[in-house]
Structures are given as structure tokens and as C-alpha cells.
Amino acid sequence: MAGPSCSVLSPRARVSDELVDDLVRLVGHERDGNSFWVRDTRKVGGTYEGERRPFVLFSEPRDEVDLRAMKEALGWAPLQEIGLAAMCNDAKDHRILGEMALWLSEKLSGVVDLCGEIPELDGQAARVAYQAAAGHTAYISVADPEELRAWLASAAFRMVK
């Protein structure tokens, strides 16, 4: 069963592949294309140490409407995006994902698109509107590193699945 996902958005035009390679090396050492396994997030400031957990890297281009909505909410449009997804849905997968996204967002001076709305973050994280199916307006929460760090410390913490 697939788990939660998120995207780290950067105002930089091109992110070095070395940064993503560094993340994978720091948390797990095993990579097969876009798939990698996490064993330990302590080297990226996290708390997880345990069995191997599967994750995947992805990148999906944003359309112009999404980019305008991001620019309106954030004051800038993302020029680069690094997607992370857990391949399982246990609480530890949510935590690992959040910890890796926090590390990347700090390194990139970026923000984290939580790939859905988290109502508990209303008033804390940016809320970006987008057009969903049948013309319905939906929202995503976008957190800066400070907001994500506070969310990770919350008893209600979870990522969006």
C-alpha cells in the first residue's frame, strides 16, 4: 500500500543532483533508480532508526495555473521541485517523510508542498488553491521549515496520504 507524499519546492532554478544523492546516502545507502530505502534519519536531524523503509523520488511539472497560485500564496513561483513518497503508510513512514522533507527544505531555502490540506495547519502554513475534478476548488498546505518543524513536534503530526 502506498503511503504519504510531499514535494520540496525551491526558488532556485536548478537543484544539484548531489543534494538528493547526499540525502539518500545520509538516510540509507541503498538506491535503485528513483527508489531508495531509509534506515536512519538522525544524520539529517531526524529521530528514526530502525528497519529499512521504502521511498521513491519523483518530479511532476506544474501547470501555469498552479504556478500562479503558488506565486500568489508564497510570493514566488517554484523553479525546482523534488518529490518524495513513502511506499508504506505506517506512522514511522509519515515521520521519516517529514524529516527528509524538512532537511531538503532547509538546504534549498524552500518550502514543502504537503500534497493536500492539513486543517490543523490553518493559519500557520500557506494555503494554496487549485482546481480539482469537475471545477471543484481544493487546497494544499505549504509549510516553510519552521512550520514543518513545529508540525513534526505536534502529537497530531501526520503527512497527507
What is the arrangement of strands in the sheet containing 30-32, beginning at the earlier edge strand? Answer: 30-32, 35-40, 49-58, 80-86, 5-10, 111-113, 137-143, 126-131
Q: What is the pLDDT of residue 90?
A: 97
Q: What is the pLDDT of residue 101?
A: 98
Q: What is the pLDDT of residue 41?
A: 98
Q: What is the pLDDT of residue 12?
A: 84
User: Containing H/E element for 103?
Assistant: helix 91-108
Residue 159 domain-assigned?
no
Q: What is the pLDDT of residue 97?
A: 98
Share above pLDDT 70 across residues of the chain, in percent, rounded to a whole number: 98
Residue 103 domain-assigned?
yes
Give CA–CA dist 16/9, Å, rounded.
Answer: 14
Domain that holds residue 73: 5-153
Task: Quickly tell me which residue has 521511498 as its cell.
Answer: 55
Q: What is the pLDDT of residue 17?
A: 80
Report CA 127 to chain centroid distance, whole Å.
Answer: 15
Q: How many domains does one find in the chain? A: 1
Residue 158 domain-assigned?
no
Residue 127 domain-assigned?
yes
Tell me the backbone φ, ψ of residue 33, rounded to 5 degrees: 65, -120
Residue 57 domain-assigned?
yes
> Which residues are CB-neighbours of 6 under 8 A, at least 6 positions away?
83, 84, 85, 97, 98, 101, 112, 113, 114, 115, 159, 160
Residue 160 domain-assigned?
no
- List the chain residues with pLDDT less than 70: 1, 15
Give CA–CA dist 55/5, Å, rounded.
Answer: 9
Residue 161 domain-assigned?
no
Question: Which letter, b or e, does each residue of 48-81 get, where b requires 16 or more Cβ atoms within 10 Å of its Cβ?
Answer: beeeebbbbbeeeebeeebeebbeebbeebbeeb
Q: What is the pLDDT of residue 38?
A: 98
What confidence tens digit (pLDDT) does each residue in 32-63 have? 999 999 999 999 999 999 999 999 999 878 88
Q: What is the pLDDT of residue 30?
A: 83
Residue 139 domain-assigned?
yes
Report CA 14 to chain centroid distance, whole Å.
Answer: 17
